[in-house]
């Protein structure tokens, strides 16, 4: 079998739980805290800095002078202001914070972008992706005699196409970087969560009835192949299924119940932080921030220790 094609196939689904996981937790996507520091503005703005910049970039800003921090903050404000009207809203702040916290995702996409953008037009069409990922299989089906290999590729190709089309918001069958990021990491995008739920259902629903019953739920995380009694943790999971997963008590999980399981409605940390920054910085209380208001509170957004910064000035951190 073509290892490159199969490797690409696995990479595409690294962000989502397609292969059978060892433990249930691999299927659950919970939003993490923005910072491990406590949110105590009367003592430190460290939480705000890491929320607004990301942990690593916050360290970089610590090494800058106040003047350099303000200059870079001004450039960041221009990027946050998506509609270029000269003001920053809570929604724009929230979207920025969410993007910063997911920087690793965008970095991952940047690393693989050239592998799929075959004509180098800075877009990835469905045909380009299909060729890069499945081209060898489609051109040489005779080399895929193994039933499992054939099944994997035949199953994943239409599934990839369905996901690609869901990520392709402008429906031109060519993904921008944002759309391709949504394709590779659908669990991170609101408009892709139906796809995450559907793929999870398809993975676990072995009898094809459109639901996940208790045995299917357990089989997804524990194999009975070795025989013997179930471990205590499996018994606990059966109780979890009955008490919390199957909310309508009909003995199975439907799509809504699966969504509540794998995409729990957690506290929106980015929304809370955006509102906090707005409240603390909105001098005229008009619910929008001018660049001047943000720069006036620059120490809350970015801060600076103004020490030992010379060694880091040669590094390019302008592109956040």
Query: Could you write out the three-class secondary structure of 210-270?
Result: CCEEHHHHHHCCCCCCCCCCCCHHHHHHHHHHHHHHCCCCCCEECHHHHHHHHCCCCCCHH
- Tens of pLDDT, residue by residue over 28-76, are 765 665 666 555 565 567 888 888 888 778 888 888 888 999 999 999 9
The predicted model gives 74-93 an average pLDDT of: 94
In a domain, 304, yes or no: no
Question: Under a CB-based contact definition with an 8 Å cutoff, are residues 48 and 273 in contact?
Answer: yes
Statement: residue 317 has pLDDT above 50: no
Mean pLDDT, residues 271-276:
90
Expressed as residue numbers, the domain containing 177 is 1-29+103-184
pLDDT for the residue numbered 60: 86
Average pLDDT over residues 294-317: 59
Pair of tokens at residue 185: 């990491």
Q: What is the pLDDT of residue 43?
A: 56
- Higher-confidence residue: 209 or 49? 209
CA distance 204 to 22: 13
Q: Let me know: does 314 contact 63? Beta carbons within 8 Å.
A: no
Whether pLDDT at 22 is above 60: no
pLDDT at 214 exceeding the cut of 50: yes
CA distance 146 to 153: 11
Asked if residue 142 has pLDDT above 90, the reply is no
Judge whether 293 lies within some domain: no
pLDDT at 244 > cutoff 50? yes
pLDDT at residue number 243 = 95
Mean pLDDT comparison of 14-18, 52-56, 159-163, highest-scoring range: 159-163
Asked whether the whole model's pTM tops 0.85, one would answer no
More confident of the two residues 34 and 197: 197
Which is more confidently placed, 126 or 145? 126
Q: What is the pLDDT of residue 303?
A: 72
Q: Number of structural domains, the chain?
A: 1
Residue 54: inside a domain: no
- Does some domain include residue 220? no
In whole angstroms, what is the distance from residue 214 CA to residue 265 CA?
A: 22
What pLDDT score was predicted for residue 120? 95
Residue 135 to residue 12: CA distance in whole angstroms: 15
Percent of the chain exceeding pLDDT 90 equals 51
Confirm whether 310 is domain-assigned: no
Non-local (6+) Cβ contacts of 256 within 8 A are none
State residue 141's pLDDT score: 81
Domain-located, residue 176: yes
- pLDDT surpasses 90 at 283: yes
Q: Write down the pLDDT at residue 153.
A: 82
- Write down the pLDDT at residue 268: 78
So what's the pLDDT on residue 25? Answer: 40
Q: What pLDDT shows up at residue 223?
A: 79
Q: Are 262 and 28 in contact (CB under 8 A)?
A: yes
Residue 201 domain-assigned (yes or no):
no
Q: What is the pLDDT of residue 147?
A: 63
């Amino acid at each position: 079998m073509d290892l490159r094609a199969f490797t690409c196939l696995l990479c595409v689904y690294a962000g989502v739980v397609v292969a059978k996981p060892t433990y249930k937790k691999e299927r659950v996507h919970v939003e993490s805290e923005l910072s491990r520091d406590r949110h105590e503005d009367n003592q430190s703005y460290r939480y705000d800095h890491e929320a607004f910049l990301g942990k690593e970039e916050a360290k970089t800003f610590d090494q800058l002078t106040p003047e350099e921090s303000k200059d870079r903050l001004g450039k960041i404000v221009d990027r946050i202001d998506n509609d270029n009207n000269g003001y920053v809203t809570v929604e724009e702040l929230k979207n920025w914070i969410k993007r910063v916290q997911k920087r690793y995702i965008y970095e991952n996409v940047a690393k693989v972008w050239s592998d799929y953008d075959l004509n180098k037009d800075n877009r990835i069409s469905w045909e380009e992706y299909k060729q890069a990922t499945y081209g060898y299989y489609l051109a040489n089906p005779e080399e895929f005699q193994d039933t499992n290999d054939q099944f994997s590729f035949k199953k994943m190709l239409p599934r990839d196409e369905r996901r690609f089309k869901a990520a392709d918001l402008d429906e031109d069958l060519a993904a921008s970087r944002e759309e391709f990021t949504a394709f590779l990491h659908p669990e991170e995008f609101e408009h892709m969560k139906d796809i995450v739920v559907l793929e999870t259902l398809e993975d676990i629903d072995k009898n094809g009835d459109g639901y996940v019953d208790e045995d299917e739920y357990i089989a997804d995380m524990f194999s009975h192949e070795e025989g013997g009694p179930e471990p205590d943790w499996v018994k606990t999971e059966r109780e979890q299924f009955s008490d919390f997963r199957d909310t309508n008590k009909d003995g199975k999980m439907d799509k809504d119940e699966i969504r509540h399981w794998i995409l729990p409605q957690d506290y929106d940390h980015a929304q809370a932080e955006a509102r906090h920054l707005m409240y603390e910085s909105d001098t005229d209380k008009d619910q929008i921030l001018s660049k001047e208001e943000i720069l006036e509170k620059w120490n809350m957004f970015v801060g600076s220790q103004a020490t030992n910064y010379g060694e880091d000035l040669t590094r390019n951190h302008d592109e956040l």
